[in-house]
């Protein structure tokens, strides 16, 4: 049941094994590193009784922090998959800890910070580059006329084009799962930012489609996407950044980009 070397068992493990009949113990291996001190990063083992824990990985992390090790550091807020704070690499995949169910049986669950990001501490990574890129695509409605006294009409069909785009929570799971983004995070915008760029490009109320597309006309911002599609596979909200990027590429080459609707 547990793939641990006998030499690594200690008193705490025996205490837990003794009560195995009433407990359901799962091992978590969590990446730890502190910028203070000279230690290298390590994987720390925590044992959690799943019978006394909520079903999600975030529940386990909070339980570990509350009961075993208050120094374990991670971001969290809404606990229901809408704020994007708790994005991390769980069992090899980027996802939200709060909507990721603990796999009861089998090997220990490994928890790492999002891949190829600077680590501030433990599971907390530096998101500033990601936010800067998001700001760079001008994520706001742009019209030539000033604010109107009425709403801009938008048909149900045009509004539907925004479904699958506006729900993005900017958790960065997709961008940090993309090998192109790993190798060029400063120049390639990444799936999340490009999905948002597309959200404004095809919003029928926006009047700067041409300019938005022109901004992506260099060798790195958009075109480092090689349809690897890790993004779509990993998105915890079920969105498809790869498809949005493909749609942008289509618009980039077609003449339709001048007058979309």
Partner 1 sequence: MEDDNWQWHMYDTVKGSDWLGDQDAIHYMTREAPKAVIELENYGMPFSRTTDGKIYQRAFGGQSLKFGKGGQAHRCCCVADRTGHSLLHTLYGQSLRYDCNYFIEYFALDLIMEDGECRGVIALSLEDGSIHRIRAKNTVLATGGYGRAYFSCTSAHTCTGDGTAMVARAGLPSQDLEFVQFHPTGIYGAGCLITEGCRGEGGYLINSQGERFMERYAPVAKDLASRDVVSRSMTIEIREGRGCGPEKDHVYLQLHHLPAEQLHTRLPGISETAMIFAGVDVTREPIPVLPTVHYNMGGVPTNYKGQVLTTVNDQDTVVRGLYACGEAASSSVHGANRLGANSLLDLVVFGRACAKTIAEEHKPGESIGSIKENAGEASVANLDWCRHANGSIPTANLRLQMQKTMQTHAAVFRTEETLKEGCAKMDKLYSNLKDLKVSDSSLIWNSDLVETLELQNLMLNAVQTIVGAENRKESRGAHAREDYKTRIDEYDYSKPVEGQQKKPFDQHWRKHTLTTVDEKTGKVSIRYRPVIDHTLDSNECATVPPAIRSY
Which residues 148-177 are close enough to bind partner 1 by CB under 8 A?
A: 148-156, 159, 162, 166-167, 169-170
* In the complex, least distance from residue 18 CB atom to partner 1, rounded to whole angstroms: 25
Task: Pick from 139, 217, 250, 254 the residue near partner 1 by CB under 8 A.
Answer: 139
The rounded Cα 140 to chain-centroid distance in angstroms is 22
Nearer Cβ to partner 1 (203/247): 203
CA–CA–CA angle 133, 211, 213 (5° rounding): 65
Give the binding range for partner 1 (CB under 8 A) out of 22-30, 200-208, 212-220, 253-261.
Answer: 200-208
Residues 57-86 that bind partner 1 (CB under 8 A): 65-67, 69-71, 73-74, 76-83
In angstroms, give the least distance from the CB of 222 to partner 1.
Answer: 20
Least distance to partner 1 from the beta carbon of 48, Å? 15
Q: Which of 3, 7, 22, 35 binds partner 1 (CB under 8 A)?
A: 35
Q: Which stretch binds partner 1 (CB under 8 A): 9-17, 87-95, 109-117, 136-144?
A: 136-144
Asked if 234 contacts 95 with a C-beta cutoff of 8 angstroms, the reply is: yes
- Tokens representing 48? 């959690």
Q: What is the C-alpha separation between 133 and 191, in angstroms, rounded?
A: 11
104 lies in the site for partner 1, by CB under 8 A: no
**Cα 221 versus chain centre, distance:** 20
Place of tokens 């603990």: 102
Q: Binding mask 106-125 vs partner 1 (x if CB under 8 A, - otherwise)?
A: --------------xxx-x-
Separation CA 230–CA 175 (nearest Å)? 9
Q: Where do runs of H (alpha helix) occur along the chain?
A: 11-18, 57-67, 128-136, 156-160, 179-183, 191-201, 209-215, 230-234, 241-253
Judged by beta carbon, residue 206 or residue 247, the one nearer partner 1 is 206
CA-to-CA separations, 248 to 98, 112, 167, 254, in angstroms, rounded:
32, 32, 18, 10
- Identify which range of 1-9, 40-48, 134-142, 175-183 contacts partner 1 by CB under 8 A: 134-142
Whole-Å CA distances, 5 to 13, 49, 107, 111: 12, 20, 13, 20
Residues contributing to the site for partner 1 (CB under 8 A): 34-36, 54, 65-67, 69-71, 73-74, 76-83, 99, 120-122, 124, 128, 131, 135, 138-141, 143, 147-156, 159, 162, 166-167, 169-170, 200, 203, 205-206
């Amino acid at each position: 049941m547990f793939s641990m070397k006998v030499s690594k068992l200690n008193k705490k493990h025996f205490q837990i094994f003794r009560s195995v009949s009433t407990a359901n113990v799962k091992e978590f291996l969590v990446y730890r590193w502190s910028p203070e001190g000279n230690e290298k990063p390590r994987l720390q083992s925590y044992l959690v009784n799943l019978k006394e824990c909520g079903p999600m990985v975030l529940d386990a992390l909070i339980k570990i922090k509350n009961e075993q090790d208050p120094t374990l550091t991670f971001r969290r807020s809404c606990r229901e998959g809408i704020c994007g704070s708790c994005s991390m690499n769980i069992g090899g995949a980027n996802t939200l800890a709060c909507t990721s169910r603990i796999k009861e049986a089998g090997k220990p669950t490994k928890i790492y910070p999002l891949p190829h990001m600077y680590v501030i501490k433990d599971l907390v990574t530096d998101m500033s580059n990601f936010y800067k890129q998001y700001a760079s695509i001008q994520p706001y409605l742009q019209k030539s006329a000033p604010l109107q006294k009425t709403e801009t009409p938008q048909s149900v069909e045009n509004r539907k084009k925004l479904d699958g785009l506006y729900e993005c929570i900017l958790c960065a799971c997709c961008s940090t799962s993309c090998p192109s983004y790993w190798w060029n995070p400063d120049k390639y915008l990444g799936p999340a930012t490009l999905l948002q760029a597309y959200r404004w490009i095809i919003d029928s109320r926006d009047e700067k489609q041409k300019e938005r597309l022109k901004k992506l006309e260099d060798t790195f911002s958009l075109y480092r996407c090689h349809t690897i599609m890790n993004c779509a596979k990993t998105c915890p909200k079920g969105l498809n950044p790869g498809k949005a990027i493909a749609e942008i590429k289509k618009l980039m080459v077609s003449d339709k980009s001048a007058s979309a609707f």
